[in-house]
Structure 1
Amino acid sequence: MDFISCLDDCGLVDAGYSGNTFTWTNGRKRGNRICKRLDRVLYNEEWNDNMGDSMVKHMARTGSDHNLIIFNCKEVTNNFVSYFRFLNFWTMQPDFQQLVQNSWMEEVQGNAMWILQEKLKRLSKVLTQWSKEVIGNVFEKVKQYEQLILELEHKMDSDDSEKNRQDLNRVNAEYIRWSSIQENLLQQKANIQWNEEGDACTKYFFSSIKHKRRRATLHRIKNSDGNWIEGNEAIGDAAVQYFESTFAETAQIPDYGVLHHIEKIIIEEDNQNLNRFPEEEEIKNAIMDLSPNSLCRARWL
Structure 2
Amino acid sequence: MNGTFHKSLKNPNCDVLKKLDRVLVNEEFTSKFGRAHAIFHPYLISDHSPAVLVIPDGIVCKPKSFRFMNYIADKPEFIPLVENVWKKVVNGVPMFKVVQKLKALKKDLNFLNWQNGNIFSKVKDLKQKLKVAQAEVDDNPFDKTVKAEAVKLLNEYRDACKDEMKILKQKVRVKWLEDGDKNSKYFHSILKSRKSKSRVESICNDHGQRFFGGEVADQIVEHFKKNLGSSSNTQPVEDLGDIFTKVLSAEEANSMVVEVTNAEIKEALFDIDSNKASGPDGYTARFFKKAWPVVEMIYV
What TM-score comes out, normalization by structure 1 length?
A: 0.71
- Report the Cα distance in structure 2 between the residues aligned to 1:254 and 1:218, rounded to whole angstroms: 40
Which of 183, 206, 209 aligns to 1:201? It is: 183
How many percent identity over aligned positions? Answer: 24
- Report the Cα distance in structure 1 between the residues aligned to 2:255 and 2:56, rounded to whole angstroms: 53
Which of 129, 135, 158 aligns to 1:176? It is: 158
Query: In the alignment, does 2:169 pair up with 1:187?
Result: yes
Which of 241, 246, 255 aligns to 1:277? It is: 255
**TM-aligned CA deviation for residue 180 of structure 1:** 0.6
For the aligned residue pairs, the C-alpha RMSD in angstroms reads 4.1
TM alignment of 1:28-39, pairs within 5 A: 37=20
CA, structure 1 residues 138+299, in 2 after alignment: closer, same or farther (shift >3 Å)?
A: closer
- Report the Cα distance in structure 2 between the residues aligned to 1:200 and 1:220, rounded to whole angstroms: 36
Which of 224, 227, 232 aligns to 2:208? It is: 227
Aligned partner of 1:151: which letter?
Answer: V
Q: Is the 8 A contact 1:53 1:75 kept in 2?
A: no
Q: Which residue of 2 aligns with 1:120?
A: 102
Number of aligned positions between the proteins: 274
Deviations 1:130-184, CA, capped at 9 Å, x for gaps = 321x322222211211221233344445544533343233212211111111111
Structure 2: stretches of 5+ with no match in the other structure: 280-284, 293-300
Ranked by relative contact order (alpha carbons within 8 Å, sequence separation 6 or more), the top structure is: 2
Aligned partner of 1:217: which letter?
Answer: R
Q: Which residue of 1 aligns with 2:221?
A: 240
**TM-aligned CA deviation for residue 118 of structure 1:** 2.8
What TM-score comes out, normalization by structure 2 length?
A: 0.71
Q: Which residue of 1 aligns with 2:149?
A: 167
TM alignment of 1:123-142, pairs within 5 A: 123-132=105-114, 134-142=115-123
Q: Which residue of 1 aligns with 2:298?
A: none
Q: Which residue of 2 aligns with 1:22?
A: 3
Looking at secondary structure, tell me which structure has more helix per residue: 1
Which of 54, 70, 94 aligns to 2:36? It is: 54
CA, structure 1 residues 24+277, in 2 after alignment: closer, same or farther (shift >3 Å)?
A: closer
Query: In the alignment, does 2:124 pair up with 1:143?
Result: yes
Q: Which residue of 1 aligns with 2:26?
A: 44
CA, structure 1 residues 232+143, in 2 after alignment: closer, same or farther (shift >3 Å)?
A: same
State the SS of the aligned residue for 1:120.
Answer: helix
